[in-house]
Every structure is written in C-alpha cells, then in structure tokens.
Amino acid sequence: MPRRSGSAALSTLSDSARVAAMVLARDAVESRSWSHPQEPTSDEWWADVLAAPRARKRERRSDLAVKQAYYRLADEKREIILVACSKCDWRAAFARDELIAAHGADYPMPNLLDRLAAPSCSRLGSQWDRCGVHYVEPIGGPAS
C-alpha cells in the first residue's frame, strides 16, 4: 500500500480515530524538551557551561601570526639605532634604552620612524611627498 501524507492519512480515519491520533501527537510533542520555549538558566548552569572545555577560546595558528606582525623596540638588538633621510642629508642616532623608556618596549618600529624623523622636516605628514626617513641598519643587518 502506498504511503500517504499526514493530512491524507487523517482524512481516511473516522472522526474518533482522527481525534485520538491528534491527541497522541500533541502529547508526544509536549513531552519533548525542545518543545518548551526555554528552560530556566541559573548561575550554576552558566558556570557549568562556561567551565566546559568547548567554551574555552582556542588559539589558532593564524592568531599567532597576527599577535606580532611587526618588529618592536623590544626586538631590536642594537644599543644605538641609526636613522637617516633619503631625501635630505639628515641623520641621527638614538639609544635603544631611551626610546624604550619614552615609547615602551612594544612600540612598533615602523611607526617609530615618524617620531624619530627630523622635527623640522616639511614632508612629515605629507601624503604626496613623504619624508624619506629610514633605519640605516635595517632588520637582519649586523647587530652591534
């Protein structure tokens, strides 16, 4: 015998059998926990949920790369950091320890260049004709 859809199967039943089937279906749905809107949540329940291993944040390999995507003052091995400008003849030398005291050990070296550039440089902050400040001994150069 071919299988009928729910409404087609109910239409072939007598009225009393149809009512009995609907009552059984209602009782089955009400007895399931997912049919309730939301179970009460207490502080103990949340403590259990948050203590579960699945609730802990896992570090991904990509997260490790993002944590330090730049060279910091703390990573610099040289005692003296030499800076120069490629567009003029300006040069300067800075003590690493003094820079760490002024800016912090985690300060990014690329961002530090604008702060170390010649104070009188007219190109600082220019979008079109930028200052040519750079490290004389870049990363990977000989350390003193």
**Domain locations along the chain:** 6-54, 73-135
In this structure, which amino acid lies at residue 10?
Answer: L
pLDDT above 70 covers a percentage of the chain that reads 67
Give the least confident one: 8-12, 20-24, 80-84, 88-92. 8-12
What pLDDT is stored for residue 95 in this prediction? Answer: 92
pLDDT higher than threshold 60 for residue 1: no
18 or 143: which leads in pLDDT: 18
Residue 141 has phi, psi (to 5 degrees) of -75, 180
| Burial (Cβ within 10 Å: 0-12, 13-18, ≥19) of residue 72 | middle
pLDDT higher than threshold 80 for residue 99: yes
Q: Is the pTM of this model over 0.75?
A: no
Tens digits of per-residue pLDDT, 3-36? 555 555 555 667 788 778 778 877 776 666 554 5
Contact 133, 117 (CB under 8 A): yes
What pLDDT is stored for residue 102 in this prediction? Answer: 92
Contact 111, 71 (CB under 8 A): no
- DSSP state at residue 85: E
Q: Is 96 helix (H, G, I), strand (E, B) or coil?
A: helix
pLDDT band of residue 97 (cuts 50, 70, 90) is very high
109 or 6: which leads in pLDDT: 109
Region 111-127 average pLDDT: 78
Tens digits of per-residue pLDDT, 38-53? 666 677 777 777 777 7
14 or 68: which leads in pLDDT: 14
